[in-house]
Amino acid sequence: MAPSCCKLLCASSRLLFAVSLLAVATHAARPNPVRIAVYWGQGGGESTLNETCSTGLYSHVNIAFLSEFGGGRAPVLNLAGHCDPTSGGCAALAADIASCQSQGVKVLLSIGGGIGSYGLSNETDAQNLAAYLWNNFLGGSPSSSPLGGAKLDGIDFSIATGRDDYYDELAKNLKTMYNSSDLARAGNKTHMLTAAPQCPYPDKFLAPALKTGLFDHVWVQFYNNPPCDYASGTLQSAWNTWTAALPSASVFLGLPASPDDAARGYIDVETLASQVLPMARSAANYGGVMLWSRRHDERTGYSAKLQDIANNTVGTQRSCTFLVFGMA
């Protein structure tokens, strides 16, 4: 019944326009239809953090990366050419972060990445890092902190090298600190844990941490991982494995935003919208899409195209539903 209704009634563009106006009126400030998490911070010539958030394309921005920590190292923030943290040069980002948050974008600090030197040696090391993260970026956040006192929305675990131990301890410690904070007492869930495991299951570095069940969002890297490529036909079974393994998290499909950005795993945006996302959405804990990275997305317009396609699809469905309802 619905498809023929669409053909008959949605054929009138004037009617569709009127119905769209009604839809806009009842869904004021509807956000973009696909939740997209993006990594920001490592791209030369990338737009600023505030510009990134102001595009309205993203639900989450991961600041990449806290690239050195643990094992007696002093934690070091590395934001490539954006700013120099050694001289307090990244403190100005606090204003951008506040602006992002006021626009409804969650901002997280991503620890790890592929460039630095990090790893946790023992439980004390994990406790110390949790305290450092809490005091500088989440709970205390003094103006002397590397991001100028910004209170972030959470910590992202993007662990790809070094030792694989004690990240479960880090997650538990962060959760415990959050639990005993005023934020939690007020019932205000502003602090989340996220992670970016490699797709082959289970991930060597993050498996024990993910087993804690403490992660809110998990963006699985379906790129540079031939066993999980869309092209090799194994994406769906890998997706089923991850979504079944993380019932308490929402799972995002991590993809490159440009074909020359990752050795493998690029999916053109039309195929993503018409083939892959409908499959991914069949999982109850589907979360959205994660893109590496803002710089590449800016160059290719990948997320803008994806939101545009999704907007048109959602718009058509909503109009038709409205008409059917209105006629019933």
Residue 141 interacting with ligand NAG (CB under 6 A): no
Nearest to 100 by CA among 39, 154, 51: 51
Query: Is the preceding omega at residue 202 within 30 degrees of 0, hence cis?
Result: yes
Residue 95 interacting with ligand NAG (CB under 6 A): yes
CB atoms within 10 A of CB 227: 13
Helix (H) or strand (E) holding 7: helix 2-9
Residue 35 interacting with ligand NAG (CB under 6 A): no
**Which range, of 10-18, 262-270, 274-282, 301-309, touches ligand NAG by CB under 6 A?**
301-309
Helices (runs of H) and strands (runs of E) counted in the chain: 13, 10
CB of 56 to ligand NAG, least distance (A): 6
Residue 248 interacting with ligand NAG (CB under 6 A): no
CB of 315 to ligand NAG, least distance (A): 8
Q: Which of 54, 161, 236, 313 binds ligand NAG (CB under 6 A)?
A: 54
CB of 233 to ligand NAG, least distance (A): 30
Residue 190 interacting with ligand NAG (CB under 6 A): yes
Residue 117 interacting with ligand NAG (CB under 6 A): no
CB within 8 Å of 325: residues ≥ 6 apart = none
Tokens representing residue 84 in the block: 């120099």
Residue 122 interacting with ligand NAG (CB under 6 A): yes
SS3 253: strand
Q: Using CB atoms within 10 A of its CB, is residue 114 exposed (0-12), middle (13-18) or buried (19+)?
A: exposed
Q: Which of 308, 313, 318, 324 binds ligand NAG (CB under 6 A)?
A: 308
Residue 193 near residue 210 (C-beta atoms within 8 A): no
Q: Which of 3, 44, 45, 72 binds ligand NAG (CB under 6 A)?
A: 72
Helix (H) or strand (E) holding 185: helix 182-185
Cβ nearer to ligand NAG, comparing 178 with 266: 178
Which residues lie near ligand NAG (CB under 6 A)? 30, 32, 50, 54, 56, 71-72, 95-96, 99, 121-122, 124-125, 172, 175-176, 179, 186, 188, 190, 304, 307-308, 311
